Structure 1
Amino acid sequence: MQQRIKHLPVYGLDLETLWKTERPTFQQKIIVLDDDPTGVQTVHGIPVYTDWSAETIRSMFEESRQLVFLLTNSRAFSVDETTRVHTQIAERIAIAAKETGQDFIIISRGDSTLRGHYPLETEVLRNVIEKQDAYKVDGEIVIPFFKEGGRETIDDVHYVKQNGNYIPAGETEFAKDRMFGFTKSDLKEYIAEKTENQFPADSVLSISLDELRALDFGSIESKLHRLESFQKMIVNAVSEEDLKVFTIALMRVIQQGKHFLFRTAASFTKVIGDISSKPYLTKVDLIQKNSATGGLIVVGSHVRKTTDQLNALKALDSIEFIEFDCHLVVDKEQFEKEIVQIQERINEKIGEGTTVCVYTSRSRIDLGEGRQEKELALSVKISSAVTQFVAHCNPQPAFVIAKGGITSSDVGTKGLAVKKAEVAGQIAPGIPVWKTGEESRFPSIPYVIFPGNVGEVDTLRTVVEKLVNKD
């Protein structure tokens, strides 16, 4: 695999010259629907909205910046709720687009390890957009490449790089997700599996690395023009430059009247949004003065990577660690007692200037086969309790870190009560930071959104050390 990549042609200055010529001609509003808050892990200087009222959707179109994110948190939703929410959002986008006279594209930003409500979300979006007469959707483009997370697509197979090794996505722990599991690593076969063969593998088009490295725009554009009736296309990529080549062809075809929906990871949003790279954030960037209070870290994700990172964090003697026994959720009285006791400890320690890490017990609740949605409902209840640890934190913490997708969404929207945030950048590869809005519970503090499936064993500890160490 590494040999295959090693022998690919390297891009020259021609690509950057082409990009600077072509990109300014693309004026459509780019709306990213993010199924958890981690999708901003490649961008900075853009707004994130956390509700989808008609007024908010309208303000997204009135926002001067071309690229906007709307956090749906749908990875924590049931099928019915996901359908309802995406129907509402698509209807309101179509109405606002007509009222403002703006063209738009929608990107459904999903997990780079292929979990989530796919193909449900894009199917709902397509149906509503066409019903509202916004436009006819010719095809769907799937791009799960995410550089910072080590997710690469090569010869149509999607890989998760772990310790320098390429592991096919279907062979990772993520593929065994009880709600969103899958078995195929070849993306053509993955699409066939997830669509129950409505779109067979042999019907899925793909853009190869060879076409991209050869700058074969004729071939790429021809394939894009062939898409019709919501046919699927996958894009191979191992670098952001690969996506730039594809996006040049894509913009040309869109301007010729074709319309697409996108299911992608975070790298594509950065490229099509023309967002520059930026150095990683430091404590000086985020905390302008030494706070007398400690920070608050909440860990909810149960993937192995998170548990390993939590164990590494425990090497820091300066952090107060509190385990939240989430299995008590089945006993209302005991569960509420646990919440009260933990809240008292959090407030006491943060008031003393100590940073606190609250983490859910590491074993998952398993109700048995066929009860995945019930398990999801309990997980939401647990996440809600974790959220309250943030909402009821007194005094205001110096910073907040949330680990895990569902956890970070609930902490941001419910715990911190953020309506609109600014993405400050990343504090480490693939780990974004919001600056909370003035309307939030704790205005203008750094909120670090740490995905459950990102980073090395010591990354969480490194991030925390960066924020707690004395200058």
Structure 2
Amino acid sequence: MSNRPKIIVLDDDPTGSQTVHSCLLLLKWDVETLRLGLVDEAPIFFVLTNTRALTPENAAAVTREVCRNLKIALEEEGIEEFLVVSRSDSTLRGHYPVETDIIAEELGSFDAHFLVPAFFEGGRITRDSTHYLSIEGKEIPVSETEFARDSVFGYRHSYLPDYVEEKTQGRIQSSGVERFLLKDLRQGTQERLRGLANNTCCAVDGETQDDLDRFAEDILAIASEGKRFLFRSAASLLTSLAQLEAQPVAPEEMGQYERTSQPGAILVGSHVRKTTQQLEQLLKEPNIVPIEVDVVRLRDDLNQREVLQAEVLTLVEQAFLAGKTPTIYTSREELSFDDIQQRLDFGAVVSSLLMDIVKGLPSAVAFLISKGGITSNDVLSEGLNLRSARLLGQILPGCSMVITPDDHPQFPKLPVVLFPGNVGDDRALVTVYCRLSRQP
């Protein structure tokens, strides 16, 4: 691994590590913390910036700060060969091109940046430069799904060159995007990669993991010749770049990481339809205690925050005393706001409440399942106040599990599942719960 470039992933929520294992997730990005990732034995590490939860201006500021500190850390460690990945959503939501523009300004110059949104475990593929989402076995262009109607990150195009033109407001024309099609990947792309220059924008197909494995081999070969590449990708490309062997503990056996004989806890913040369907299935389980956080009360009166927190923690304690698993979830009603900033501000208020609930969990909790990307990031960085965590692997395809350090003051060696909102079938949350609580 020593002669391979270090893969540095700036992840806009904590779920981008959902296809790799045994590496570090960094929750802070001061120079010393970044050096931990650079010297770690794993070929890849993640910096969890959580920028998808921020305004474009704040996302740019965070990305710039990470890059400037990273530049110092790279110099101090004497590392010259590296690849930078701006990991984002496989349904094309996120701050593009804000983040890749900042990375190019601070860490450039790059010969090309590649859009690689395929995420096979989640049923997202790219064919003929058009990105599809598999829903009940049918391939739907992502522009026709609920994700394209996102009130913050909405878009009109599934054809990636048109998506680029739309998001860059015409700065990069659709006709100027280099297309790496399936036939190209399968025939080999090294000569084309050698010819790229001036941060050319490239859209990359992907129908199977083998497609990206072949592409990654070519990328690594040409990068070793001195070409510098930047990526805007979902998680599947990372599998191919990292070239890891199978994870140490099989998904079905990850209940062995359980730290006590007490119940675990489940926190659900995501509001996408799939999460709600999974939650409905989980609440049918006999040892689950549903605890709803009525966020409407919080919107109508911020003074309700402390009351809500006390009510929830009382119910959590009662569940634990009964030997049952509390499932804390925000009310499912979709709230409306006058503008995006109000929505983001209210989201921060709700997250702050949920993180104080995490801090108030019994210290003997056996495990924690966090449902939703932004929720999971906040759990790690705020609720558990981690500097870093070690990724154990996936307990379910696309669903990562990390473990807190041995010296954590409240929850040492706590297994934490980072469960994206839009991953898994209707019983996926039940499956994870049963694996961790060692139920058949």
Which range, TM-score by smaller chain? Answer: over 0.9
Partner of 2:104 in structure 1? 126
Q: What amino acid sits opposite 2:84 in the alignment?
A: I
Note the 1:284-433 alignment, pairs <5 A.
284-287=255-258, 291-330=260-299, 331-368=301-338, 371-433=339-401
Does residue 200 (structure 1) correspond to residue 168 (structure 2)? The answer is no
1:92 alignment partner in structure 2: 69
1:293 to partner: Cα distance:
2.1
> How many residue pairs align between the two structures?
435
Structure 1 position 376, deviation (Å): 1.1
For the residue of structure 1 that corresponds to 2:133, the secondary structure is strand
**Partner residue in 1 for 2:193:** 224
Contact 2:363 2:411 in 1 (8 A): no
- Give the 3-state SS of the residue equivalent to 1:307 in structure 2: helix
Question: Do the aligned partners of 1:294 and 1:352 also contact (CA within 8 Å) in 2?
Answer: no
Residues 44-77 of structure 1 deviation map (CA, whole Å, 9 limit, x = unaligned)? 1111111001111122222232211111111111
> What corresponds to 1:42 in structure 2?
19
Q: TM-score, normalised by structure 2?
A: 0.95
Q: Distance in 2 between matches of 1:412 and 1:93?
A: 21
CA shift digits 1:185-231 (9 cap, x unpaired): 01111111111111111110111111223xx22xx223323332222
How many Å apart are 1:28 and its aligned residue? 1.3
Q: Contact (CA 8 Å) 2:27, 2:386: kept in 1 or not?
A: yes
Q: CA RMSD in A?
A: 1.6
Gap change, CA 1:281 and 1:85, over 3 Å in 2? farther
For 1:191, the aligned partner's letter is: V
CA distance in 2, matches of 1:59, 1:468: 33
Please report how far the alpha carbon of residue 328 of structure 1 lies from its aligned counterpart in structure 2 after TM superposition.
Answer: 2.0
Deviates more, 1:37-46 or 1:24-33: 24-33
Aligned to 2:416: 447
**Deviation digits for residues 152-203 of structure 1 (CA, Å, limit 9, x no counterpart):** 0011111111111101111111111111111110111111111111111111
Kindly indicate whether residue 119 of structure 2 is the aligned counterpart of residue 146 of structure 1. Answer: yes
Any conservation in 2 of the 1:326–1:382 contact (CA below 8 Å)? Answer: yes
Identical pairs, percent:
36
Task: Select between 225-234 and 183-192 the one with higher mean Cα deviation.
Answer: 225-234
Instruction: Report the secondary structure of 2:422's partner residue.
Output: coil
Q: After superposition, what is the alpha-carbon deviation per residue over 1:327-357, rounded to whole angstroms, capped at 9, x for unaligned?
A: 2223122232112111111123224321000
Stretches of structure 2 lacking an aligned partner (at least 5 in a row): none
Out of 194, 200, 204, which is 1:235 matched to?
Answer: 204
Distance 1:285 1:271 in 2: 28
**Aligned residue in 2 for 1:280:** 251
Kindly state the Cα deviation for residue 273 of structure 1 after the two structures are TM-superposed: 0.8
TM-score, normalised via structure 1 length: 0.89
Asked if the contact 1:350–1:395 (Cα under 8 Å) also holds between the matched residues in 2, the reply is no
Distance 1:297 1:359 in 2: 8
CA distance in 2, matches of 1:230, 1:308: 42
Distance 1:348 1:442 in 2: 20
- Contact in 2 for aligned 1:293/1:395 (Cα 8 Å): no
CA positional deviation for 1:283: 4.5
Q: Could you tell me how far 1:321 is from its partner in structure 2?
A: 0.1
CA distance in 2 between counterparts of 1:25 and 1:55 reads 21
Among candidates 236, 249, 259, match of residue 218 of structure 2: 249
Tell me how far apart the structure 1 counterparts of residues 34 and 439 of structure 2 sit (CA, whole Å).
42
Amino acid at match of 1:185: S
4+ runs deviating over 3 angstroms: none
Please give the alpha-carbon distance, in whole angstroms, between the structure 2 residues aligned to 1:263 and 1:40: 14
SS of match in other structure, 1:159:
strand
Aligned amino acid, residue 244 of structure 1: D
Residue 15 (structure 1) aligns with:
none
- AA aligned to 2:181 is S
What is the alpha-carbon distance in structure 2 between the residues aligned to residue 387 and residue 46 of structure 1?
A: 25
Offset of 1:25 from its aligned partner?
A: 8.2
Per-residue deviation, residues 72-103 of structure 1 (Å, max 9, x unmatched): 11111122221111111111111221222212
- The answer for the alignment partner of 1:266 in structure 2 is 235
Give the conservation status (yes or no) of the 8 Å contact 2:298–2:305.
Answer: yes
Instruction: Name the CA distance, whole Å, in 2 between partners of 1:242 and 1:304.
Output: 30
Find the residue that maps to 2:68 and give its secondary structure.
Answer: helix
* SS of corresponding position for 1:456: coil
Question: Structure 1 residues 277 and 188 mapped into 2: Cα distance closer, same or farther (>3 Å)?
Answer: farther
Unaligned runs of 5+ in 1: 1-23, 131-135
Secondary structure at the counterpart of residue 148 of structure 2 = helix
- 1:384 maps to amino acid: S
2:25 is the alignment partner of 1:54: no
Matched residues in 1 for 2:153 and 2:337: separation?
A: 16
Report if the CA contact (8 A) 2:4-2:224 is conserved: no
**2:15 is paired with a residue of what secondary structure?**
helix
Give the structure 1 partner of residue 149 of structure 2: 176
After superposition, where does 1:3-42 map in structure 2 within 5 Å?
26-42=3-19
Q: Does 1:167 align with 2:156?
A: no
Among 90, 95, 109, the alignment partner of 1:117 is 95
Amino acid of the structure 1 residue aligned with 2:191 = S
- 1:469: how far off? 4.3
Matched-pair contact (CA < 8 Å) for 1:199–1:231: no
Give the whole-Å Cα distance in 1 for the aligned partners of 2:78 and 2:303: 54
In 2, Cα distance between equivalents of 1:56 and 1:25: 20
Say which of 81, 86, 92 aligns to 2:58: 81
- Deviation of the 1:394 alpha carbon: 2.1
- 3-state SS, counterpart of residue 396 of structure 1: coil
Q: Is the 8 A contact 1:192 1:198 kept in 2?
A: yes
Shift of 1:26: 5.0
Q: Residue 389 of structure 2 aligns to which amino acid in structure 1?
A: A
Residue 211 of structure 1: aligned partner: 184
Q: Which amino acid aligns with 2:38?
A: F
Hey, what's the Cα distance between the residues in 1 that align with 2:194 and 2:170?
A: 23
